[in-house]
Structure 1
Amino acid sequence: MTRIAVAGGGIGGLAAALHLLQAGFDVQVYEQAPRIGEVGAGIQISPNAARLLIRLGLKSALDRAGVRPQAVHQKRWDDGRTLQRAPLGAAVEETFGAPYYHVHRGDLVELLAAALPPERLHLSHRLVDVAETGGRVTAQFENGASAEADLLVGADGIHSRVRHILFGAEKPRFTGCVAWRGLVPAERVRHLGIEVASHNWMGPDGHVVHYWVGAGRFMNVVCVTEHGAWTDESWTQKGRVDEALARYEGWHPMVRGLIEAFPETFVWALHDRLPLPRWSEGRITLLGDACHPMLPFMAQGAAQSIEDGATLAAVLTAMQGDVPAALARYEALRKPRATRLQEASSANRIRFHLPDGPAQEQRDAALAASGDRSMANIGWLYAHDAGQGT
């Protein structure tokens, strides 16, 4: 039986482990933190990822923890005028065969971890080195432990140690964008009457996204603005609510009301990265943010990491455990799609932040005329089945 070590116990690593285990492989997950958890707030699980999680038997857990939005509602920054309102809910589920969920990151990590047999999850294992000899990969950990496997998957995030070992230090590019996030208890914003949808307010040099998470107990809010001075990429740095509010002077009262309701806010700088030339070396490969980090403007970061794990399990099965052949196929299948989404996310950064003027008017007219979220336009993303391995 092929033995697989997964470095990283976040969304991508845990989902990959479940897909690989379901396919019959011997999988062990090594997470550097002393407990399973996820910083951050909300994420969007579109049908391309939801169908994969449902196959893992997680539908009931997702229904309990998540929220099913009825639409994507894109609006103008100052007067709240609708630029486009595209259906989600039943329409998307009927068209693509799987629901659309909004979920708190922590809830998703917990339900993934609960589905994994506890003996396969090893906490407080910080990877320090990886070596491949004689058709085996050996991982060394800071606590003195080591693990041997036929394949090692680096699912260790945007600051991946595995990627650093394989390909050297990277050079992230600061986009100039800074984001504030807040998780607002429902009772603080109940009076605003916010529909169960994904809301995107587009304005000059910034945009604001918000939606319900935690089974409707919280409103997840992310405010992105250009020309920020903050350069730290960490998600855990505390920010100041008054600074966030000042950036959105003149914006619609609902936007300002959401920011004013923040119990606290965290601030981070958005960095972009060039696509890697390749993801694999010998019997070592990368997954999720470790190989294709993307700006959050397509809401696909977590979904694409879930897709990675499903495809990896499918190609390993098809190649009957021939690891080098499977990794070549995995990369050939996944890299073009992930790169397309990296590029689309970067393009949305510009599109969402247009100043009022001719380009903004052209964008708004295009949204009203056909819409980038129509079923026909979004089908390439939502209809994809990464578990087919073809």
Structure 2
Amino acid sequence: MTTPPPLRITIIGAGIAGLTCALALRRNGHTVTLLEKSTFHQETGAAMYVGPNCSGHLMRLGWDPPSTGANLCEGVLSIVGPTGEVRNKMGLEGVSRQWQNPWLLVHRVDLHAELKRLVTEEKGEGRAVDLRLGVRIVEVDAEAGKVVLENGEVFESDAIVGADGNNSIARKSVDSSAVLRPWGKSCYRFLVDREVLKRDEETRALVEEDGYFLDVLANDRKFVAYPCRSNTEVNMAVFLPDDQTEGRGDDWDQQGNKAKMMSGFASFYPSARKLLSYADEDLKVWQLVDMDQLKSWNAGRLALIGDAAHPFLPFLGQGAAQAIEDAISVATVLQFGTPASDVPELMKLYDSIRRERVDYVQEQTRLNGLDEDKGRPPPI
């Protein structure tokens, strides 16, 4: 019996989800084209969690965490913002022994660059992925497996993976009525040199231990801080109600206003305010958005993954993790030797095996993002 040829697979979007999927499918032996509207000349972003539920997947695909500055998450420190009272301080050494894989903290830009290298380099398992940057997609035909670019170029595919984020064009082929809606909070993001914070007597205690995740919160506002880049930089994510920020829309690179951010934390204790004061004037802000669950993540030869399928709020650090799990799941159902005729049914299978888990994690994320007086669970 003749083995079917490798599948021709087109992936739309080269973020963490798209790159992970491309790498896994490459290693399966398929022919993969990756289409991305950005040119990646000025990649930005914040640090991110790589939790135990996804770090192992990336390492099996060839990611070497230390080479990208990833450091362990070694503990959690939770503080009441207005008073400075320590609610909880817990090292993770004991509980981490229960995990098969490490909980890591890494800058998104560094992880993204390494995944892009693994996807496109000639050496390694499978054929190097054809990465096309700066392209504009105008049509996705899920039934025919066709993707059309603005310049008229057409990609005929046995399978299409939509990994193009919150404002997905691929999603329109599955559910054209899906609408993003504001969650009610916006997030400021910035990085601070950890050594600077350690030299400051007011902020030293908040950042002095390697790998600690800091959570400073009040009823309807909070900020989190954690180290990345081998514990040399501190990533800050600062959450305020929309009406107290200038964030509009889910663009990650909107210019933020430091004075406005600081005024939102006037009631917090001095060390917390001092930590926030280290923000640069060019800090970024984005409005958090949510979306009703789609009835399906697939249509014909197309499957959606990551934020294209299920936009995630940042309150459990599971957006990237679930996107990575999606990517691995698509690669699992599209093994080498899969007949092209089987792809539509296998895309349905992917949907069915992922939906219950993602829905549960998404609901827990939403609960964790509620204000304290509206049912937010107590911190760890």
Residue of structure 2 in register with 1:53 after alignment: 58
- Whether 2:14 is the aligned partner of 1:14: answer no
CA shift, 1:289, in A, is 0.3
Residues 178 and 294 in structure 2, CA contact (< 8 A), matched pair in contact too: no
> Aligned residue for 1:250?
267
Q: Is 1:124 aligned to 2:134, yes or no?
A: yes
Single out whichever of 256-265 and 75-84 deviates more from structure 2. 75-84
CA-atom RMSD in angstroms: 2.2
Of residues 212, 221, 225, the one that matches 1:206 is 221
1:27 matched to 2:32:
yes
Q: CA deviation at 1:24?
A: 2.0
Q: Does 1:326 align with 2:346?
A: yes
CA displacement, residues 61-118 of structure 1 (integer Å, 9 cap, x when unaligned)? 4454212121122221123333233443x44543212111111111111010010125
Q: Do the aligned partners of 1:221 and 1:258 also contact (CA within 8 Å) in 2?
A: no
Structure 1 residue 150: deviation in Å? 0.2
Kept in 1: contact 2:165–2:308 (CA 8 A): yes
Partners of 2:9 and 2:160 within 8 A in 1: yes
1:76 matched residue in structure 2: 80
Matches within 5 A, 1:320-359: 320-321=338-339, 322-350=342-370, 353-354=371-372
The answer (yes or no) to whether the contact 1:210–1:219 under 8 Å persists in 2 is yes
Shift of 1:287: 0.5
Aligned-residue sequence identity (percent) comes to 29
Cα deviations across residues 313-338 of structure 1 (Å, max 9, x unaligned)? Answer: 11222993421221111111111111
Does the CA-based 8 Å contact 1:9-1:36 persist in structure 2? no
Q: Structure 1 or 2: larger helix share?
A: 1
- What is the TM-score of this pair, normalised by structure 1? 0.85
Matched, 1:279 2:294: no
Secondary structure (helix, strand or coil) at the match of 1:317 reads: coil
Partner of 1:222: 237
Q: Do residues 236 (structure 1) and 253 (structure 2) align? A: yes
SS at match of 1:242: helix
Alignment-derived partner of residue 44 in structure 1: 49
Please give the alpha-carbon distance, in whole angstroms, between the structure 2 residues aligned to 1:152 and 1:331.
14
Shift of 1:203: 0.6
> Is it true that 1:145 corresponds to 2:150 in the alignment?
no
Q: Which residue of 2 aligns with 1:181?
A: 189
Name the residue aligned to 2:10. 5
C-alpha contact 1:138 1:147 (8 A) present in aligned 2: yes
Q: Secondary structure at the match of 2:372?
A: coil
TM-score, with normalisation over the residues of structure 2? 0.87
Q: How many residues align?
A: 356
- Whether the 8 Å contact between 2:189 and 2:283 is mirrored in structure 1 is yes
Return closer, same or farther for 1:217/1:143 CA change in 2, 3 Å cut-off. Answer: farther
Distance between the aligned counterparts of 1:187 and 1:291, measured in 2? 40
1:24–1:86 distance in 2 versus 1, CA, 3 Å: farther
Separation of aligned partners in 1, 2:344 and 2:95: 37
Whether contact under 8 Å (2:166, 2:307) holds in the other structure is yes
Residue 49 and residue 247 in structure 1: after superposition, are their counterparts in 2 closer, same or farther (change >3 A)? same
Q: Secondary structure at the match of 1:215?
A: coil
- In structure 2, give the amino acid aligned to 1:138: K
Counterpart position of 1:94: 97
Q: 2:283 maps to which residue? A: 265
1:111 aligns with 2:114: yes
Q: 1:122-166 deviations in whole A, cap 9, x for unaligned?
A: 111222111256xx4111112332211100000000100111233
- For 2:303, what is the secondary structure of its paired residue? strand
Gaps of 5+ in 1: 372-390
Aligned equivalent of 2:3: none
User: Secondary structure at the residue paired with 2:97?
Assistant: helix
2:325 matched residue in structure 1? 307
CA distance in 1, matches of 2:296, 2:66: 33
Q: Which aligned pairs between 1:374-385 and structure 2 lie closer than 5 A?
A: none
> Match for 1:243: what amino acid?
K
| 2-structure distance, mates of 1:244, 1:137 | 46
State how far apart, in whole Å, the 1-side matches of 2:173 and 2:346 are: 21
